[in-house]
Amino acid sequence: MTIKIPSVTIQGMDQKYIAGEKKGVIMTEKGLKIATIGGGSSYTPELIEGFIKRYEELPVKDIYLVDIEEGKEKLSIVSALAQRMVDKSGCDIRIHSTLDREEALRDADFVTTQFRIGQLEARIRDEKIPLRYHAIGQETTGAGGFANALRTVPAILDICKDIERLCPDAWLINFSNPSGLVTEAVLNHTKVKAIGLCNAPIGVQNDVAKLFGCDAEDVYCDFVGINHLFWVQKVMIKGKDVTEETIGRIVKEGKAGKLANIPDIDFPGSFIRSLGMLPISYLKYYYLADQMLEECIEAAGTKGTRGEVVRKVEEELFELYKDENLAVKPPQLASRGGAHYSDAACSLINSIYNNKGDIQTVNVLNRGTNLDLPEDAVIERNCVIDKAGAHPIHLGHTPEKARGLLQIVKNYEQLTIKAAITGDYDLALQALTIHPLVPSATAAEKMLDDIIRENAAYLPAFAERK
């Protein structure tokens, strides 16, 4: 989702970042090579659809879908569907299915990452471990997100070593969760050019468009925060400030940034009015923690955690994908959650390649954009996208009502990255303890011990330090 607005101040737009100056700017007439890590994901058909839609201006020639041995069957099914989609479109795109990451990465122009270490079984553990200690279990925030990060950070850094060696000029577009934290690890610990993505900003923009009965392209939301922890401090439609009206309509209609993968509990109208901003749905875990915990506990005992629900959805999706007559992205994919992730990736790649200078909301280094966060922190911010990358629009200070929560969660993220890289138990314990969704240091220690024990196969750094 992109939109152009006039008169923006771009943070860090010095000679080092001017389009055409930075090493690795794509200036090629050959067909593009895309490598997708986690190619057997159920999201891949949306990625393929995105490239097909943009084929006239984005000359993708080869798409390498790569996965691990455990994902071989899903990779085969998804690759066959991708080939049928391309064949039906008439686009001259070649689909390659491989378990050889080096083959996929060699000379790639863009790399997209959509993997989950430990697959859905690990996600389900992430959700259930916190519940043992009366804490919210969720895949990207709290103790669940922490466990996910411990597994994912070492894996993404290992992938980046291959990128540095095999395609050093490639752009990495990451939407492996927790996306902002993972992207921060890449940008601060590798030489890879990376931008993180999330579908939530697009979801908010679409919700506002539905609220006003207009096209999403007419909506501009001024996002402030980090991945899965952001607020919309201003809403504009065709250049007109409609923030107060938007809040009024949301309070009246009870609709505020609902996402398919988050329980449908409404923020109190009085709370949204007092906040004066639009909160993303993930903020329910913080602002409505008691209700969300009850919902997590009830779901785990009845229909299952979100991961267990997704496992059933994926089983149904892959049965659909097997149909040799299917040659389009099925509408049932929307029930998977995470809609628009892949389309956002295609839009971002298109804007980099074609030097569009449009505005998209992505995860990038702060570099003074938000004066209340460290320079090396990754933020989720409206950015101007061109062939030199993503340039965040200057923010200044975070609104006071959001500042404290934002700072403590960012502190948690930065400690978690250090712990994931070093395997330092003490750092990990401190990171988990300060997270607002962890009830106490005692609970944090018990959860950490469970996380390390039950993820031992994926946490070699911690094993080495024993």
Please confirm, yes or no, whether 286 is among the known catalytic residues. Answer: no
Active-site residue among 282, 285, 341, 412?
282
- Backbone CA torsion sign across 269, 270, 271, 275: positive
Across the chain, how many H-helices and E-strands are there? 17, 13
Neighbours of 400 (CB within 10 A): 8
Helix, strand, coil percentages for the chain (3-state, nearest 5)? 50, 15, 35
Best CA proximity match to 230, nearest among 129, 378, 125: 378
184 is written with which tokens?
Answer: 């921060």
Exposure string of 80-113, with b = 16+ CB inside 10 Å and e = fewer, is: bbbbbbbeebebebebbbbeebeebbeebbbbbb
The residues, any chain, with a CB within 8 Å of residue 6's CB and separated by 6 or more, are none
User: From residue 401, how far is each of 105, 224, 230, 346, 395 by CA, in Å?
Assistant: 44, 12, 12, 34, 15
What distance in Å separates the CA atoms of residue 380 and residue 365, rounded to the nearest whole number? 9
197: how many CB neighbours lie within 10 A of its CB?
30
Q: Is it true that the peptide bond before 6 is cis, omega within 30 degrees of 0?
A: no
Q: Where are the beta strands (DSSP E) in 78-169?
A: 94-98, 110-113
Q: How many CA atoms lie within 13 A of 31 on its CB side?
A: 13
In the chain, the amino acid numbered 12 is G
Q: Give the residue numbers marked as catalytic.
A: 282
